[in-house]
Chains A and B, each alone.
Chain A
Amino acid sequence: MTTPAAPRVQQLRLRENQLFLALSIVLGILAGLSAVLFSLAIDRTSHIFFGLAPTNLRLFAVPALVSVVTGLLLAKVFPDVRGSGVPQTEAAFRLHEGKIPGRVPIGKFLTGVLCIGSGHSMGREGPSVQIGAGIASFVGRWLGLSPERAKMLIPVGAAGALSAAFNTPVAAVIFALEEIIGDMNAGLLGSTVVASVAAVIVERSILGNAPLFRVPPYHLVHPAELIGYAALGIIGGFVSLVFCRALLELRAAFQRLPASTRWLQPAAGGVAIGLILIVSPAVMGVGYEYVDQALNGGLVLNTLLLLCFLKLGATVISYSSGNAGGIFAPSLYIGAMAGGAVGMIVRRLAPFPTGDPGAYALVGMGTLFAGIIRAPMTSVFMIFEITQDYQILVPLMVANLLSFMISRRFQPTPVYHALLEQDHIHLPSPVLKRGPRGWTAGDIMAEAPPLIAADRSVESVSRELASDGRLPILVGSADGLIGVLRRERLSEAVTSGRGSDPVESLLDASFNHAHPDHPIDVILERLSDSDGLLPIISRDDTRRVEGVITADDVTRALGRRRAR
């Protein structure tokens, strides 16, 4: 039986939905405007810094000197705006109830403009996504929306920003679903579509209808040409792998440096970028001008190979050293150069008629995007939107699939997630989020024992914990958990005369763990693979131990349930 107030509540809820739709449109436009402004500001800043034809001194000095300023800003004022912005947006959506601090979009805009405008080889799309999502998050909080509603605005802002930044509204929606939400069946489709369309209309009304790239019509010249595209997919997969590995390794190396050097790290990257720019200014900034040339057959084989190699190196350096900018555009750039080069080689060697190398450059863009960003659907739709040509889809899908498979086989964690893991953040999988809400690790876990300091000697730890059972020991530092030490290794170290060594030297590099939201089946599986103790660590900061689970804890929980 309904109360008399029920129709009124229903009416208000309907109005709230209508307001949310209106908000999606306004936020789409605002996010789109922010992306357009960001792009214009980068162009203007680059022009101010480099002028028309910069000298070698200028090419070297600008990135180095500007990076000192951005380094200070990134270390002291805006510590959470380094890098792309896409993984941070994902983390905000999946872990922080869609909360992005108000300083983030401002800081990202400012540092992004300075970094990319000063010649760092980075993209503008990732930062645009974070700025758009940041604006949406701020507005959601300003309006006092419920956490669930406010969270729903994140993909809306992200799709709007990406749609305007890349002029591909459909790909922007797919990207928001595939990457930010991580779920292609999301119920947020309507609002992201609305935001994306609103943003692209505004973008075109300001910048005109011209596409981002001028692409001649390409098609498959001969069925055997699919072999050439398959070769491109394989090469693209390995180039993606090299890019991801180099990026993660160098970034890890920078992270291992003392925290006091953090403000100076972007400047170190700036010096290296300055040297690269002297060799070839074509790798400067976003670089779509050169992608356009590759698509139109304007670059020779040697130039394509050189630019592919230099852009890869420059992007790895710029990103790893902690500058603000994305890898979306660089992946397209590297892909266009690699694709163009493969196209030229195929044309020279193939015994069958082949298409223009520009067609390979176009497919190469999608291939590298699928391999690096690991968003294959976005990649296909993006290229389809750029070309508006159905004919290129089959070669594109073949190459994308191969690149995606190779990249996933040798680098199981996608680069955005691996970057988050380097920042001690573990994202929940979308499948987990959708699963039935039974028991989770948070319901079962017991209080964690105090961490053993990593610099303590093996002997003192062994003596102290001699009568403390057989369970593994959690070892940490001032920042939190570092690793797990197995008792056998401790005993072996004592008997082999390594008693004075620090326990840190005995730690396993990777150890089984779970997060508080993991369900019971995952807990049991991981517990069986561990030595009897499963640390439960925060997703937000993987160095923070929330608790531990042993077989006894599971048994106790089952007992409690039976008692109920």
Chain B
Amino acid sequence: MNRFIDRELVILATLVAVTIAVFLGTRRFAAANDLMRRRDAEAWYAIGDGALKKGDVHTAVPAFRRAAAKNPDDAHYRRTLAAALMASHDDDAALQLLLDLHDQRADDAETDLQLARLEARRGDRPAAGRYYQTAIVALWRAAERPARQEVRREFIKFLLEHGERDRALSELLVLETGLSQDVPSQVSAATMLLAAGDARRALDHFDAALRVSPSDVQALSGAAESSFELGDYARTQRYLRHIAADSDRTRELRAVTTLVLTGDPLMARLPIAERRRRLADWLSHVLGRLETCQMQAIVTRPETTADLDAVLTEARTLDAAVASRSGFRSSDDVEAAFEVVYRGTRAADRICDSSAPRDRALRLIGRRHGLEPQ
């Protein structure tokens, strides 16, 4: 039995040696196979990419699927597959794939970003917001900072599209801290600030952009828009003067600011005659508008005609007074009369709203002089 045991030990030692040799050989074989699979995956990816560029998602999806199956460690293949699935409107499969990837790689910003876009498309705003935020706070290398800013910009645009101005403003505050001084960055941030309702900070960034490139049309338009929002119509005109080619918007801005600056009867240091002239001009416009609206209200909203009649009577009385040139010797008289004009235009707005430059200008003048809260 002793000899038997010794023989067993020798054979066991031999077996161990054989096992080690087989293990090393198998590892080499596995490495070679792994390389083969990676190459296959690259080839399938190239096929899918080519098909996707041609818009052929039916070829692209299976090709990306095979690439992902051949090399499951490469998250890029799976993300591309998800993108192709989204392109083929198979959102459920894309979501499943991305969630799976998200579970495996919690700090992968690109996966989170794709998930955010997908959820945004599916209309799940809270989920989209959550994934945007996880994408932003994911691990980014120093070299990827611009990409991270880009994700933040996309998130801000998403928030603005969905009316979440406060959240957008707080994200914009973070964005501003690392903002580059180049024109596109400044203009982009300023545009978003303007959309979020912070015209003051938007104007600062547009001005910063204009300091670098004074003739930049986007910056000029944005600055004009911002100063217009701030009620600084003289400054708006200054910016508009530098814009060579008018767009519909700049043309509208130009018309409204000109009307505000040339038609304000309450402007400081105006002779009383000019004040009266401007008041008469606005009164005549409002009377005409009220009469038109009254006709319209009889048909569409008869319950409002009583209010409209009262304002119209008041305006006609004022018109008679302006025509007789009695009174209106002081600015206070003009201001009181303009208040009636303003009430008239607001009453007309309630029945038949108008966005004509003249009506907009009248409203802005009223607001400018505190007749309506800003």
- Judging by beta carbons under 8 Å apart, are B93 and A298 in contact? yes
- Judging by beta carbons under 8 Å apart, are B29 and A12 in contact? no
List A contacts of B274 (CB < 8 A): none
- Judging by beta carbons under 8 Å apart, are A12 and B2 in contact? yes
Listed residue (B15, B18, B32, B72) with the most chain A CB atoms within 10 angstroms of its CB: B15
- Judging by beta carbons under 8 Å apart, are B96 and A37 in contact? no
Interface-located stretch among B6-14, B329-337, B360-368: B6-14
- Judging by beta carbons under 8 Å apart, are B15 and A26 in contact? yes
Bound-state Cα–Cα, A314 to B28, Å = 33
A22: Cβ under 8 A from any B Cβ: yes
- Judging by beta carbons under 8 Å apart, are B23 and A29 in contact? yes
- Judging by beta carbons under 8 Å apart, are A36 and B96 in contact? no
- Checking A52, A144, A206, A293 against B26 with a beta-carbon cut-off of 8 angstroms, the contacting residue is A206
- Judging by beta carbons under 8 Å apart, are A40 and B33 in contact? yes
Q: How far is the CB of B16 from chain A (nearest CB, A)?
A: 6
List B contacts of A216 (CB < 8 A): 96, 99-100, 103
Q: How far is the CB of B222 from chain A (nearest CB, A)?
A: 46
- Judging by beta carbons under 8 Å apart, are A19 and B5 in contact? yes
- Checking B4, B8, B22 against A33 with a beta-carbon cut-off of 8 angstroms, the contacting residue is B22
Bound-state Cα–Cα, A214 to B12, Å = 38
Interface string of A174-217 (1 = CB under 8 A from B): 00000000000000000000000000001000110010001011
Bound-state Cα–Cα, A343 to B69, Å = 23
Q: How far is the CB of A381 from chain B (nearest CB, A)?
A: 23
Bound-state Cα–Cα, A15 to B7, Å = 13
A47: Cβ under 8 A from any B Cβ: yes
| Closest chain A residue, CB of each to CB of B2 | A12
Bound-state Cα–Cα, A139 to B22, Å = 15
- Judging by beta carbons under 8 Å apart, are A144 and B100 in contact? no
- Judging by beta carbons under 8 Å apart, are B96 and A30 in contact? no
- Judging by beta carbons under 8 Å apart, are B12 and A23 in contact? yes
Q: How far is the CB of A397 from chain B (nearest CB, A)?
A: 25
List B contacts of A36 (CB < 8 A): 26, 30
Bound-state Cα–Cα, A555 to B93, Å = 73
- Judging by beta carbons under 8 Å apart, are B12 and A22 in contact? yes
Interface-located stretch among B36-44, B153-161, B227-235: B36-44
Q: How far is the CB of A458 from chain B (nearest CB, A)?
A: 61
- Judging by beta carbons under 8 Å apart, are A26 and B66 in contact? no
Q: How far is the CB of A427 from chain B (nearest CB, A)?
A: 30
Bound-state Cα–Cα, A217 to B69, Å = 19
Q: How far is the CB of A34 from chain B (nearest CB, A)?
A: 8
Q: For chain B residues 74-112, which have a beta carbon within 8 Å of chain A?
A: 92-93, 96-97, 99-100, 103
- Judging by beta carbons under 8 Å apart, are B30 and A356 in contact? no
Tell me what chain B mostly uses at the interface: helix, strand, loop, or mixed: helix
List B contacts of A9 (CB < 8 A): 1
- Judging by beta carbons under 8 Å apart, are A143 and B11 in contact? yes
Decide yes or no: A52 and B44 within 8 Å by CB, A29-B23, A144-B4 being known contacts.
Answer: yes
Bound-state Cα–Cα, A297 to B98, Å = 12
Decide yes or no: A297 and B92 within 8 Å by CB, A36-B26, A40-B29 being known contacts.
Answer: yes
Interface string of A277-293 (1 = CB under 8 A from B): 00000000000010011
- Judging by beta carbons under 8 Å apart, are A30 and B36 in contact? no
User: How many B residues touch the partner, as a band?
Assistant: 35 or more
Tell me what chain A mostly uses at the interface: helix, strand, loop, or mixed: helix
Q: For chain B residues 124-166, which have a beta carbon within 8 Å of chain A?
A: none
Q: For chain B residues 208-242, which have a beta carbon within 8 Å of chain A?
A: none
A168: Cβ under 8 A from any B Cβ: no
User: How many A residues touch the partner, as a band?
Assistant: 35 or more
- Judging by beta carbons under 8 Å apart, are B8 and A30 in contact? no
- Judging by beta carbons under 8 Å apart, are B12 and A26 in contact? yes
B73: Cβ under 8 A from any A Cβ: yes
Decide yes or no: A52 and B15 within 8 Å by CB, A12-B2, A210-B72, A293-B65 being known contacts.
Answer: no
Decide yes or no: A40 and B23 within 8 Å by CB, A214-B100, A297-B92, A356-B96 being known contacts.
Answer: no
Bound-state Cα–Cα, A15 to B100, Å = 50
- Judging by beta carbons under 8 Å apart, are B29 and A142 in contact? no
Q: How far is the CB of A495 from chain B (nearest CB, A)?
A: 69
Q: How far is the CB of A230 from chain B (nearest CB, A)?
A: 25
Bound-state Cα–Cα, A9 to B96, Å = 63
B292: Cβ under 8 A from any A Cβ: no
Listed residue (A9, A40, A142, A292) with the most chain B CB atoms within 10 angstroms of its CB: A40
List A contacts of B65 (CB < 8 A): 293, 298
Q: How far is the CB of B153 from chain A (nearest CB, A)?
A: 32
Q: How far is the CB of A211 from chain B (nearest CB, A)?
A: 10
List A contacts of B32 (CB < 8 A): 44
List A contacts of B26 (CB < 8 A): 33, 36-37, 40, 206
- Judging by beta carbons under 8 Å apart, are B43 and A52 in contact? yes
Decide yes or no: A142 and B11 within 8 Å by CB, A9-B1, A12-B1 being known contacts.
Answer: yes
B19: Cβ under 8 A from any A Cβ: yes
Q: List 16 A-B contacts (CB under 8 A).
A: A15-B5, A16-B8, A19-B8, A23-B12, A23-B15, A26-B16, A33-B23, A37-B26, A40-B29, A40-B30, A139-B11, A206-B23, A206-B26, A206-B27, A207-B30, A356-B96
Q: A23-B15, A30-B19, A44-B29 are in contact. List 8 more A-B contacts (CB 8 A).
A: A26-B12, A33-B26, A52-B44, A142-B11, A143-B11, A143-B12, A210-B73, A296-B97
Closest 8 CB pairs of A and B: A289-B69, A12-B1, A206-B30, A33-B22, A40-B33, A26-B15, A297-B96, A216-B100
